[in-house]
Amino acid sequence: MAAAARPVTDDLVAGLRGIVGQRGLLLGADVATRSCDPFRDVPPEGGVIVRPASTGEVSRVLAFCHARGQRVVTHGGRTGVAGGAYAGLDEIILSLERFAQIEEIDAIGMSVVVQAGATLEAVQDAVAADGLLYPIDLGAKGSATIGGTIATNAGGNRVVRWGMTRANVLGLEAVLADGTIVSAMNRLVKNNSGYDVKQLFIGSEGTLGVVTRAVLKLVPAPSSQSAALLALPDFASVLDLLGRARRLATLSAFEVMWSDYYRLVATSGTGRDPLPPAHPYYVLVEVMGHAEEVDRVQFDAFLGEAHDAGLIADAVVAGSGQQIAELWRVREASEVLVRTLGSFVSFDVSIEERAAESFVEAARAALTSRFETVRTVTFGHLGDNNLHVGVHVGPDTFTRETEVERCVYAVVKEHGGALSAEHGVGRFKREFLPEHVSPGALDVMRRVRSALDPSALLNHEVLF
Ligand SMILES: Cc1cc2nc3c(=O)[nH]c(=O)nc-3n(C[C@H](O)[C@H](O)[C@H](O)COP(=O)(O)OP(=O)(O)OC[C@H]3O[C@@H](n4cnc5c(N)ncnc54)[C@H](O)[C@@H]3O)c2cc1C
């Protein structure tokens, strides 16, 4: 399957320049000063970034690379946290940054046609003028692109209400490794005309083709939003609260923070301490709706009933949009984690909610039995089974990364969980994939990849 590695040569650069022009090429310092990782400084090893500005240019670049056996790594906003955008010495980078227009908003059909390099935030801002929302929402939305979120099947904060990216894409266009343009720009809600080809590319992490354009499904923008940060006495209360919250038609987020996470963030000196850090669990619960008064009454009733049932030890209810944003700052504090822990191995796993507490305890026990120093931070979108765990095992955390991963992924497997909930496999988790999917499923994945990109030229080191 693997193609022989090809060095980057002058004629490669000249050929690419012939397709995209001088403005479409970055070389030398312009490449070396970029990072392929949002949290670490990891410049591309190769020396070329090609920036096509149309689907036609993407197609010609890939056809040219295909003919030379040249490997290509696709870049969106480089916010991915699975190492999928890392590029080796024998790989050139194809960036969608110059292909970022919002082409058309259909306010009646409630969809938007966008080019893959558009950021999530740019799309959200553009459709807001028509009272519409593209509901995929994540902390990195200012940089993460539509192409990147499609390639990773991004989840984010509001999956409990609107699902992952997979559920919010109506159609897309992609270019295969040999330059073939595949148009599946469906705008129809119902379309059972054969295989749903777009779904192949969603979550394929750039291994099956380069996503160039997409038709995104929009929803009416909610006009009301309420949120509360709750402290809970035990995990049984968290589960009980989740069951009650899921019965609210307006539920838009249910984020859980274990005390190790909350204490670290609340004592970071960054003003993220709406409740004292004395409780074992914290939940940020949010509702969004279309009838402010009714939504507020319903949310207050939910909180009142949970309080009367003894589920809530302490609470802050936001009274304004500004206060809701303040509560979200507690949950979205990745820069605090980076600054305080220095180095940590980051996990993005899925565990059934009823097994989550036992998983966290078993993972901590497994780590403690193996490493002398162990510090964890645990939080996540429990409403959709997703837990994030950060693990620090001392100054040599990064050199012992694989040991830490082996330890935690064994516990994930024992608990019937998934290796990745939303960040993808990328380069970081590829060695663990075969242990976490069935041999039959892995075989289908290999066959599909080899049918579309027999030489594995696209994102060669990603997935398997
Ligand atoms: C602060 C922060 C918060 C985050 N929160 C979340 C979260 O809540 N939920 C979540 O799911 N993720 C989250 N992420 C991860 C990240 O934002 C997502 O994975 C996002 O989808 C990556 O988009 P990108 O444009 O940055 O892609 P990149 O990082 O550039 O690429 C990611 C992968 O997709 C491939 N790719 C990129 N563009 C294309 C394309 N057009 N065609 C084919 N392949 C392509 C790349 O080769 C790579 O393998 C977060 C990251 C940060 C830094």
Is residue 176 in a domain? yes
CATH of the domain at 392: 3.30.70.2740
Mean pLDDT over 231-237 rounds to 97
423 pocket-lining for ligand 1 (C-beta < 6 Å):
yes
155 pocket-lining for ligand 1 (C-beta < 6 Å):
yes
At residue 1, does pLDDT exceed 50? no
Mean pLDDT over 41-45 rounds to 94
Tokens, residue 69? 């056996």
- Which atom from ligand 1 is nearest to the alpha carbon of 334? 1
130 lies in the same domain as 191? yes
109 lies in the same domain as 151? yes
216 lies in the same domain as 113? yes
> Ligand 1, residues 39, 51, 58, 74: which to mutate, most atoms within 8 A of Cβ?
74
CATH of the domain at 181: 3.30.465.10
Residue 275: give the domain boundaries: 224-334
- Which atom from ligand 1 is nearest to the alpha carbon of 426? 49
Q: Which of 162, 188, 220 finishes a domain?
A: 220
pLDDT tens by residue, 161-180: 999 999 999 999 999 999 99
CA 79 to ligand 1 centroid distance, Å: 5
Percent of the chain with pLDDT over 70: 98
- Bridge-based pairing of strands 210-217 and 169-175 is antiparallel
> Ligand 1, residues 42, 49, 138, 388: which to mutate, most atoms within 8 A of Cβ?
138
Is residue 74 in a domain? yes
DSSP 23: G
Mean pLDDT over 90-100 rounds to 97
pLDDT tens by residue, 277-324: 999 999 999 999 999 999 999 999 999 999 999 999 999 999 899 999
DSSP assignment of 306-356 equals HHHTT--SEEEE--SHHHHHHHHHHH--HHHHHHHHSS-EEEEEE--GGGH
Residue 3 — pLDDT band, cuts 50, 70, 90? Answer: very low
At residue 4, does pLDDT exceed 80? no
pLDDT tens by residue, 360-394: 999 999 999 999 999 999 999 998 999 999 999 99
83 pocket-lining for ligand 1 (C-beta < 6 Å):
no
Quick one: pLDDT at residue 2? Answer: 45
Quick one: pLDDT at residue 6? Answer: 55
151 pocket-lining for ligand 1 (C-beta < 6 Å):
yes
Strand partners, 386: 350
Is residue 58 in a domain? yes
CA 77 to ligand 1 centroid distance, Å: 7
328 lies in the same domain as 353? no
Contact between residue 58 and residue 95 where contact means Cβ atoms under 8 Å apart:
no
At residue 266, does pLDDT exceed 50? yes
CA distance 51 to 110: 30
What CA–CA distances, in Å, run from 69 to 51, 66, 73, 458, 460? Answer: 19, 5, 13, 10, 12
pTM score: 0.94
Q: Which of 205, 220, 235 finishes a domain?
A: 220
At residue 53, does pLDDT exceed 80? yes
N-term to C-term CA, the chain:
11
Quick one: pLDDT at residue 420? Answer: 96
Q: Which of 318, 334, 350 finishes a domain?
A: 334
Provide the number of structural domains found in the chain: 4
313 pocket-lining for ligand 1 (C-beta < 6 Å):
no
- Which atom from ligand 1 is nearest to the alpha carbon of 139? 3
CATH of the domain at 258: 3.30.70.2190
Residue 39 — pLDDT band, cuts 50, 70, 90? Answer: confident
Tokens, residue 363? 């993972």
415 lies in the same domain as 352? yes
289 pocket-lining for ligand 1 (C-beta < 6 Å):
no
Chain centroid to Cα 413, Å, comes to 21
Q: What would the 3-class secondary structure string for 425-439 be? A: CCCCCHHHHHHHCCH
Question: Going by C-beta distance under 8 Å and a sequence separation of 6 or more, which residues neighbour residue 344?
Answer: 337, 375, 377, 390, 391, 392, 397
CA distance 172 to 201: 9
Is residue 464 in a domain? no
Mean pLDDT over 84-109 rounds to 97
Query: What does the mean pLDDT of the chain come to?
Result: 95
At residue 251, does pLDDT exceed 90? yes
pLDDT tens by residue, 317-361: 998 999 999 999 999 998 899 899 988 999 999 999 999 999 999
Contact between residue 296 and residue 224 where contact means Cβ atoms under 8 Å apart:
yes
Percent of the chain with pLDDT over 90: 94
CA 141 to ligand 1 centroid distance, Å: 9
Quick one: pLDDT at residue 40? Answer: 87
At residue 117, does pLDDT exceed 50? yes
Residue 173: phi and psi, rounded to 5, are -125, 140
23 lies in the same domain as 127? no
354 lies in the same domain as 408? yes
Quick one: pLDDT at residue 10? Answer: 87
Nearest CA to ligand 1 atom 8: 156
CA distance 298 to 414: 39
235 lies in the same domain as 323? yes
At residue 5, does pLDDT exceed 60? no
Is residue 420 in a domain? yes
Residue 9 — pLDDT band, cuts 50, 70, 90? Answer: confident
405: number of Cβ within 10 Å: 19
187 lies in the same domain as 228? no
